[in-house]
């Protein structure tokens, strides 16, 4: 701030010196003779005693300036007052009040419809729950037969008396049609590329599982 003040003083003094130099130059010009033998005279000479120099208000130059606020008019000091609200006519005021009333009525109507829809949905859910509670419980799931853990490796013998070769993961087992394997399975049919297992448990009577021929074991 001190540097700016000193700078402003130097500029002001420079302007004053320029003004004095200009006046002096004009005086010398007025005193010089006119080309062609005539004399200019002293009628246009400037009187330095009548020259008025105005005092410089250094305190005002050094005063703190307000900070710039984005959006503010930089050519106007102070805060721009907001424009006064428009004066509405009675008819305009009545129209605004009527629009506000109708908007509030519409909002209340939508609120009532939402409440009624929620109440109907709750009643329907309660009705279906009561009907579901009166129904008999569902039957237990049907038991599933045990999985067949044998691999069908191949067969040999005549077509009417084929002997199948099974593998249980450890040993090879030779079986014919009708034989019981383990305690849960029996051989129902020996095909050319598959073998059909039945089950010894009576609850799985009539059910079977076909195992295709496997090339590895």
Instruction: Give residues with Cβ within 8 angstroms of 5, minimum separation 6.
Output: 58, 61, 62
Mean pLDDT by 10 residues, the chain (217 residues): 64 77 69 48 58 74 72 64 84 92 95 94 92 88 91 90 91 92 92 93 92 82
Q: What is the pLDDT of residue 38?
A: 45
Q: CA 68 to CA 66: how far, in whole Å?
A: 7
Q: CA 31 to CA 46: how far, in whole Å?
A: 11
Q: Are 183 and 124 in contact (CB under 8 A)?
A: no
Q: What is the pLDDT of residue 36?
A: 46
* pTM strictly above 0.85: no
Q: What is the pLDDT of residue 209?
A: 93
Task: Say whether 196 sits in a helix, a strand or coil.
Answer: strand
Q: Are 185 and 150 in contact (CB under 8 A)?
A: yes
Q: What is the pLDDT of residue 180?
A: 93
Structure tokens at 156: 């040999």
């Amino acid at each position: 701030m001190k540097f700016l003040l000193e700078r402003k003083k130097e500029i002001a003094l420079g302007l004053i010196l320029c003004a004095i130099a200009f006046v002096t130059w004009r005086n010398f010009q007025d005193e010089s003779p006119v080309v062609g033998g005539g004399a200019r005279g002293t009628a246009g000479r400037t009187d330095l005693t009548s020259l008025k120099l105005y005092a410089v208000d250094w305190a005002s130059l050094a005063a703190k300036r307000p900070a710039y606020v984005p959006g503010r008019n930089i050519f106007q000091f102070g805060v721009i007052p907001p424009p006064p609200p428009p004066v509405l006519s009675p008819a305009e005021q009545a129209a605004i009040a009527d629009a506000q009333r109708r908007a509030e009525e519409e909002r209340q109507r939508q609120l009532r419809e939402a409440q009624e829809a929620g109440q109907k949905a709750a009643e329907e859910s309660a009705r279906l729950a009561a009907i579901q509670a009166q129904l008999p419980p569902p039957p237990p799931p049907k038991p599933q037969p045990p999985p067949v853990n044998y691999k069908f490796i191949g067969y040999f013998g005549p077509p009417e008396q084929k002997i199948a070769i099974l593998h249980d993961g450890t040993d090879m087992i030779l079986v014919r049609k009708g034989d019981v394997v383990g305690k849960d399975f029996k051989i129902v049919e020996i095909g050319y590329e598959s073998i059909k297992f039945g089950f010894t448990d009576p609850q799985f009577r009539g059910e079977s599982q076909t195992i295709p021929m496997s090339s590895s074991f």
